[in-house]
Amino acid sequence: MPVDPKTTVRWSLLAAGLLAFFMLGAGQSVMGPALPVFQQRFAIGGAAAGWLISSLAMGSFAGLVVLYFYGRFATPALALLVMTVGALAIALSPNFAATIAACILFGFGYGCVAAQFNARIFAVFGQRGPSMLSLLNAGYSVGAIFAPLLFVALGSRPNLMFVIIAGLTGLATLVMMRPQPAVTPATEIGLPKGFRFSFPILIFGLIAVGVEVSLTGLGPSAMIRAGVADAHAAELLSAFFVAFLIGRLGLTLLADRVPSFAVLIAAALLTAACSFACIWFDPTWFFPPMGAAAGLLFPGYFVTAAARMGNDSRVSPVILATTQIGAVTFPLLIAQLAPMMGERGFFWLIALTTTALGLVGLVSFRRLQP
């Protein structure tokens, strides 16, 4: 019995996407533990080393801007190739300036890969698109969890780690270089044609992803201020990420049965409930399960935004650029305000923000649900 070529392209795209997103998570998460190694190797201070993280973000944003204007010419294979070259350049860079440039290149590919695969996976799987999108982003979570452990097991050698990332990303590139039959996204899932800008849903996404990044970046220090020991706070963050992964994997079973905007609203309200529990009770018990709710924020947002804004090549870059703005600005704002609100000010801010997000979502459900 002949195999439907559309089935082949779907599963090859998903396989390459899962491997690519595993590498996205690995590359992002390994930079943190690698910073001290780079500091020692290049004899730089902590502030200078921080530019390695910032350069990844700058490169990613630049990639999304380029995709916005020239996305119709881009392919997943080209995006993966740029990311592969960037990872290899980080591994081989002889000095700090070259490493910064390599991080920008890797970040550029990172942003393009994220935009290309999120949009295509959602589109080509038809009614199962939301579930497959959740599975794709679960791959990112797996990479983010296990890459730092592998980094330590390999003797904390960033060069070797990025050679591995380059090799596996290169493998995904080869998969996507195979000739593939065309698949028309609009006919596969009924996306509106063209580009329909939706400011309200983008604001929802900016706040939702800002909350997610704040929880992962500032959550441990917030627990320490609330009286949790340093080592235990790190353990609780690991448990948070495990719950985060479980939430995204669980969504793969439900996403095609539940309205996407309802997923976003439920995630916001569950995050609020856990945050209030962290205020009134011991955060040791309620911070980890918050990860399951936080893991639903981005998939719920992306599916809703893509379904509202259309199948144009500019849609995915706009959606992801908005999340990057939230990921940068929201933690900065939270970090400034939380100390003014007492030892559990962080949890108050998260609780109030997500409660407002959920309630506004409920009021505007009929208008914003695609």
Q: What is the pLDDT of residues 279-292, one digit of tens each?
A: 999 999 999 999 99
Give the pLDDT confidence score for residue 278 in this predicted structure: 95
d(CA 84, CA 364): 42
Note the Cα 319 to chain centre separation in Å.
12
Give the pLDDT confidence score for residue 180 in this predicted structure: 57
CB 358 within 8 A of CB 295: no
Of 257, 292, 296, 258, the closest CA to residue 274 belongs to 292
Could you say which DSSP state residue 194 is in?
Answer: S
Which pLDDT tens digit goes with each residue over 206-240? 999 999 988 887 888 888 888 888 778 878 888 89
| Six token digits for residue 86 | 């960037």
User: Could you give phi then psi for residue 94, rounded to 5 degrees?
Assistant: -85, -15
- For a pLDDT cut of 90, what percent of the chain falls above it? 44
Of 196, 183, 203, 190, the closest CA to residue 310 belongs to 196
Q: Using 50, 70 and 90 to split pLDDT, how confident is the model at 187? A: very low
Which pLDDT tens digit goes with each residue over 56-72? 888 999 999 999 888 88
Which pLDDT tens digit goes with each residue over 246-268? 999 998 888 778 888 999 999 99
The answer to whether residue 90 scores a pLDDT higher than 90 is yes
d(CA 50, CA 68): 28
Q: How many residues are recorded in the chain?
A: 370
Q: Is the dihedral of CA 73, 75, 79, 85 positive or negative?
A: negative
Q: With H, G, I as helix, E, B as strand and everything else as coil, classify residue 75.
A: coil
Note the Cα 13 to chain centre separation in Å.
18
| Six token digits for residue 343 | 């030892």
| Six token digits for residue 235 | 């353990």
Of 17, 205, 201, the closest CA to residue 120 belongs to 17
Give the pLDDT confidence score for residue 87 in this predicted structure: 96
Q: Which amino acid is at 134?
A: S
Give the pLDDT confidence score for residue 181 in this predicted structure: 47
* Complete domains list, the chain, with CATH: 5-189 (1.20.1250.20), 199-368 (1.20.1250.20)
